[in-house]
């Protein structure tokens, strides 16, 4: 059915309007406006309805993209929403923050010479409309089951699993050491990419559906892992990765050098109205400062753009490879540049300067040498190219590793990889412990929201099978 489709020949790709950089620098609101209805319809109608839709193949939750684009183009928005939510628990979140240029849109095979369909923005539009129209309702469980599942971590992975398990009737308990639901959706990712009320609405929906949340509750401190296992029929570990990678160069212990997530969390908490002494006393606040962020991933992009909004005097991003080889999304680099961030490509810190507090970074220029076994060119120092960059706040954004979960949970039997991530079977999340599953970043290493959602969904299916089998056995035992 291609009625009203294949319009890529006459219609150009268009994103929702972006607010001006001057306006964006002043607040933490999202930078894209909502699509006007006609524009969403037009953009959806550019899809050529491929027989083998590569967009879908490269979407981690395998969204049925051609179908919901078709329904949107033909004004059947409620059906488009039904199809979209069937494969993704949080489509409006993915529509906002998936790096679409590396996933669905990057794989859109619209005829050569034409730009891809704007998939993410249409996905966001469909679900934002569904919220507005009241089509999204709490789950009504038709058959309550006695079995319960304990989920450690209220990030996107844990929440997707909770949603799926609750729909099947399980008693779902989610434990999180933080005071709010959402994990990095709330405390890592800044509001200009994902406004917090989007996450709050989802959290409320899950609570209204009967999921029980235990906040300010740290497993390993408030309850041991083995006690949690005794309490529930199955347990999911969805604790994410939080050990910040460090820079070991002279001066790295100076005041004014801070880890990225501390900086971002302070900013997000302040935005949420919390009392944040380290923000107020200037430790985790860029106002009036020359800021240098070290790193080239999405976290570094979030730090530079947060610093701009806080009123930094200047913001530089130091990255040891070049623009083409950075891990972060190119779309975010463009946004950062528009907002006034200066990128210092092919540059790495050799030392931090200063007496007690940082006053500068001694940087060295790099060139890209021979590729290593992963295929990436290795950055090599250019001797004699050292130069000083003044700064009074340096932010380290070099990625994250897994904490020592077996030690934290006092469960030495839990199998982990040499990077500390939990070993879990692909497609089920089953660990080596009976009834214990693991999902999201704690299995994959620092990854993406949409992959955590995919894991949560897969593991909910696996647990449903595991617990159904156990119910079957129990019922058979009773009958015999």
Q: Does 156 bind ligand FAD (CB under 6 A)?
A: yes
> Which distant-in-sequence residues (6+ apart) come within 8 Å of 256 by Cβ?
354, 357, 358, 392, 393, 394
Structure tokens, 429: 């999340």
Strand partners, 244: 400
Q: Does 97 bind ligand FAD (CB under 6 A)?
A: yes
Strand partners, 316: 292, 342
Degrees, nearest 5: CA angle 161-464-427: 65
Q: Does 441 bind ligand FAD (CB under 6 A)?
A: yes
Site string for ligand FAD, 190-229 (x = CB under 6 A): ---x------------------------xxx---------
Q: Does 452 bind ligand FAD (CB under 6 A)?
A: yes
- Closest C-alpha to 405, from 386, 390, 387, 424: 424
Least distance in angstroms from the C-beta of 270 to ligand FAD: 15
Q: Which does 9 bind (CB under 5 to 8 A by kind): ligand FAD, ligand SF4, none?
A: none
Q: 9 or 407, CB closer to ligand FAD?
A: 407
> Which distant-in-sequence residues (6+ apart) come within 8 Å of 143 by Cβ?
169
- Cα–Cα distance, 157 to 193 (Å, whole number): 19
Degrees, nearest 5: CA angle 15-440-461: 100
> Which distant-in-sequence residues (6+ apart) come within 8 Å of 313 by Cβ?
288, 289, 290, 291
339 SS3 class: coil
Q: 318 or 424, CB closer to ligand FAD?
A: 424
Determine how β-strand 400-401 pairs with β-strand 243-244: antiparallel
Q: Give the range of 42-50, 238-246, 292-300, 314-322 binding ligand SF4 by CB under 6 A.
A: 42-50
* 58, 177, 245, 362: residue in contact with ligand FAD (rule CB under 6 A): 177
The separation between the first and the last C-alpha atoms of the chain, rounded to the nearest angstrom, is 54
Least distance in angstroms from the C-beta of 186 to ligand FAD: 8
Q: Is 331 exposed, middle or buried (0-12, 13-18, 19+ CB in 10 A)?
A: middle
Structure tokens, 55: 């967009």
How far does Cα 115 stand from its chain's mean position? 26
Least distance in angstroms from the C-beta of 172 to ligand SF4: 23
Q: Does 120 bind ligand FAD (CB under 6 A)?
A: no
Q: 119 or 436, CB closer to ligand SF4?
A: 119
Q: Does 437 bind ligand FAD (CB under 6 A)?
A: no
Least distance in angstroms from the C-beta of 453 to ligand SF4: 8
- Cα–Cα distance, 31 to 335 (Å, whole number): 9
- Cα–Cα distance, 190 to 199 (Å, whole number): 12
Q: 172 or 452, CB closer to ligand SF4?
A: 452
204 SS3 class: helix
* 122, 450, 460, 463: residue in contact with ligand FAD (rule CB under 6 A): 450
- Cα–Cα distance, 322 to 380 (Å, whole number): 12
Stretch 232-291 residues interacting with ligand SF4 (CB under 6 A): none
- Cα–Cα distance, 183 to 154 (Å, whole number): 6
Q: Does 452 bind ligand SF4 (CB under 6 A)?
A: no
Q: Which does 338 bind (CB under 5 to 8 A by kind): ligand SF4, ligand FAD, none?
A: none
Stretch 91-150 residues interacting with ligand SF4 (CB under 6 A): 94-95, 98, 100, 103-104, 108-110, 117, 119-120, 123
Q: Does 450 bind ligand SF4 (CB under 6 A)?
A: yes
Stretch 248-307 residues interacting with ligand FAD (CB under 6 A): 261, 264, 298-299, 302
Number of chain positions touching ligand FAD (CB under 6 A):
36
Least distance in angstroms from the C-beta of 11 to ligand SF4: 13
- Cα–Cα distance, 311 to 285 (Å, whole number): 9
Q: Which does 183 bind (CB under 5 to 8 A by kind): ligand FAD, ligand SF4, none?
A: ligand FAD
Least distance in angstroms from the C-beta of 64 to ligand SF4: 9
Least distance in angstroms from the C-beta of 254 to ligand SF4: 40
Site string for ligand SF4, 50-79 (x = CB under 6 A): x--xxx---x-x-x-xx-------------
- Cα–Cα distance, 250 to 413 (Å, whole number): 39
* 183, 259, 296, 379: residue in contact with ligand FAD (rule CB under 6 A): 183
Q: Is 209 exposed, middle or buried (0-12, 13-18, 19+ CB in 10 A)?
A: middle
Q: Does 101 bind ligand FAD (CB under 6 A)?
A: no
Do you know the residue count of the chain? 480
- Cα–Cα distance, 2 to 7 (Å, whole number): 10
Query: Residues in the site for ligand SF4, rule: CB under 6 A?
Result: 47-50, 53-55, 59, 61, 63, 65-66, 88, 94-95, 98, 100, 103-104, 108-110, 117, 119-120, 123, 450
Query: Residues in the site for ligand FAD, rule: CB under 6 A?
Result: 97-98, 152-158, 175-178, 183-184, 188-189, 193, 218-220, 238-240, 261, 264, 298-299, 302, 440-441, 447-450, 452
């Amino acid at each position: 059915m291609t009625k009203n489709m294949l319009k890529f020949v006459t219609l150009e790709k268009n994103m929702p309007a972006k607010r001006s950089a001057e306006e964006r620098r002043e607040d933490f609101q999202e930078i894209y406006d909502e699509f006007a209805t006609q524009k969403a319809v037009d953009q959806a109608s550019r899809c050529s309805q491929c027989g083998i839709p590569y967009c879908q193949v490269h979407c981690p939750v395998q969204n049925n993209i051609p179908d919901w684009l078709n329904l949107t183009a033909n004004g059947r928005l409620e059906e488009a929403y039904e199809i979209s939510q069937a494969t993704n628990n949080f489509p409006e979140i993915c529509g906002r923050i998936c790096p679409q240029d590396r996933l669905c849109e990057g794989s859109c095979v619209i005829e050569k010479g034409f730009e891809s369909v704007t998939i993410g923005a249409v996905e966001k539009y469909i679900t934002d409309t569904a919220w507005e129209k009241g089509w999204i309702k709490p789950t009504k469980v038709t058959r309550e089951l006695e079995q319960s599942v304990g989920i450690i971590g209220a990030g996107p992975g844990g929440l997707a699993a909770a949603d799926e398990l609750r729909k099947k009737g399980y008693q779902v308990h989610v434990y999180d050491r933080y005071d709010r639901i959402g994990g990095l959706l709330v405390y890592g990712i800044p509001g200009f990419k994902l406004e917090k009320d989007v996450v709050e609405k989802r959290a409320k929906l899950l609570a209204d559906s009967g999921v029980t949340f235990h906040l300010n509750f740290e497993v390993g401190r408030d309850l041991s892992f083995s006690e949690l296992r005794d309490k529930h029929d199955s347990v999911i570990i969805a604790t994410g990765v939080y050990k910040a990678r460090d820079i070991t160069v002279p001066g790295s212990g100076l005041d004014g050098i801070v880890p990225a997530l501390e900086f971002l969390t302070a900013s997000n908490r302040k935005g949420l109205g919390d009392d944040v002494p380290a923000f107020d006393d200037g430790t985790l606040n860029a106002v009036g400062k020359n800021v240098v962020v070290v790193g080239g991933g999405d976290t570094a992009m979030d730090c530079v753009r947060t610093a701009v909004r806080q009123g930094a005097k200047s913001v530089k991003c130091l990255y040891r490879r070049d623009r083409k080889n950075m891990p972060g999304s190119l779309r975010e680099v463009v946004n950062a540049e528009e907002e006034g961030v200066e990128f210092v490509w092919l540059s790495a810190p050799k030392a931090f300067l200063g007496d007690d507090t940082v006053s500068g970074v001694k940087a060295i220029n790099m060139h890209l040498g021979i590729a290593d076994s992963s295929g990436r060119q290795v950055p090599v120092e250019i001797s004699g190219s050292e130069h000083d960059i003044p700064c009074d706040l340096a932010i380290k954004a070099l990625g994250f590793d897994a904490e020592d979960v077996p030690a934290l949970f006092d469960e030495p039997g839990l199998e982990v990889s040499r990077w500390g991530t939990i070993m879990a079977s692909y497609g089920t999340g089953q660990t080596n412990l009976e009834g214990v599953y693991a999902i999201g970043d704690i299995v994959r290493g620092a990854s993406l929201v949409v992959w955590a959602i995919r894991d949560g969904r897969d593991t909910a299916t696996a647990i449903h099978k595991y617990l159904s089998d156990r119910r079957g056995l129990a019922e058979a035992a009773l009958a015999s």
